[in-house]
Amino acid sequence: MAPVEYAVAVDEYLGHAALGEASRRVYRISLTGWTWPLVGRPIPGAAERRRAVPPVVPLALLDDPATGGRLRRALAERAGRTDARTVNRELSALRSAVGWWLEAGWVAADPTAGLRHRPPDQLAAPLGAAQVEALLRLPVSLREHAFWRLLHDSGAGAAQLLALDVGHLDLQRHRTRARPGDRPGAGITWQEATSQVLSWLLAGRTSGPVFVTGRRAPARAADRCPVTGQARMSYRRAAELFTALTRPLDPAGRGWTLHQLSGARTNRYVLGMA
């Protein structure tokens, strides 16, 4: 028998999907986020969404001919607030769930038909030296400042940096430590000034994720700081924060993306600790 509520259908889909624990959590967040546009309401911002109670959505609403239009408008609005990778992942999660519900006969229409993924953010122009300088002068938290500096300075991918643990860093040599199986020359390097900022961020911590969120993780979670109990910061959260915090610097008012920062050419004057 088909469930009556969207939330119950989400539980059933995730219970049968071949997903790891982390991916299942990301899918649940994405699918829950679509409850607001399904009833014609804007998706709350990241901070508000964590405290908000999602609306109750009848699963039959997906068969409403007007639902596709509501999702299309929500997708356009979401694209103006966050990066393409996040938007595309959220859309893919909804499409996968709807496809499963269609096969189960729980819905008769696909409201995601015709919705298109955003072009990759890599096509956006990398930030210039003046933009990076303005970025690093923003009054943001030490975590953001350290992450942005490391991302720009090292040229590594954001997901790769967010996966780092404290033990991976060699702050004396300004690089990651060699690990078994690494090929010669592998690893991430950065400048001394970035090591200084990282040392301030990690004061008192000798293990666990380098970049953590402001919330505590469940005791069973592997990706948590053993000192503070805080969870590893996700790419989605890092991308949303970067876009939101850089919106005042963007003449278009949309904010920049992490890909634009990682693709920027390192400028030693900008990254100096003058």
**Domain 6-119 architecture:** Orthogonal Bundle (1.10)
Mean pLDDT of 223-245: 85
**Measuring CA to CA, which residue among 67, 73, 6, 65 is closest to residue 35?**
6
CA quadruple 266, 174, 144, 31: dihedral positive or negative?
positive
Range with the poorest average pLDDT among 177-186, 224-233, 254-263:
177-186
Token code pair at residue 2 = 């088909």
pLDDT at 273 over 60: no
Q: Where do you find CATH 1.10.443.10 in the chain?
A: 123-271
Domain with CATH 1.10.150.130 in the chain: 6-119
How far is Cα 31 from Cα 233, in angstroms, rounded to an integer? 20
Which is nearest to 232 in space by CA: 147, 119, 125?
147
The residue type found at 19 is: L
Q: In percent, how much of the chain has pLDDT > 70?
A: 86
pLDDT of residue 266: 46
Return the pLDDT at 230. Answer: 84
Pairing verdict, β 230-232 and 212-216: antiparallel
Q: What is the pLDDT of residues 145-180, one digit of tens each?
A: 999 999 999 988 888 899 999 999 999 999 998 776
Tell me how crowded residue 112 is: count the other CB atoms within 10 A of its CB. Answer: 21
- Fold observed for domain 123-271: hpI Integrase; Chain A (1.10.443)
Q: Where are the beta strands (DSSP E) in the chain?
A: 169-170, 175-176, 212-216, 230-232
Residues 38, 75 contacting (CB under 8 angstroms): no
Mean pLDDT over each residue of the chain, to the nearest integer: 85
Kindly state the average pLDDT of the residues 91-97.
91
Lowest mean pLDDT among 49-58, 192-201, 211-220, 228-237: 211-220
pLDDT in tens, 32-62: 999 999 998 887 776 666 678 889 999 999 9
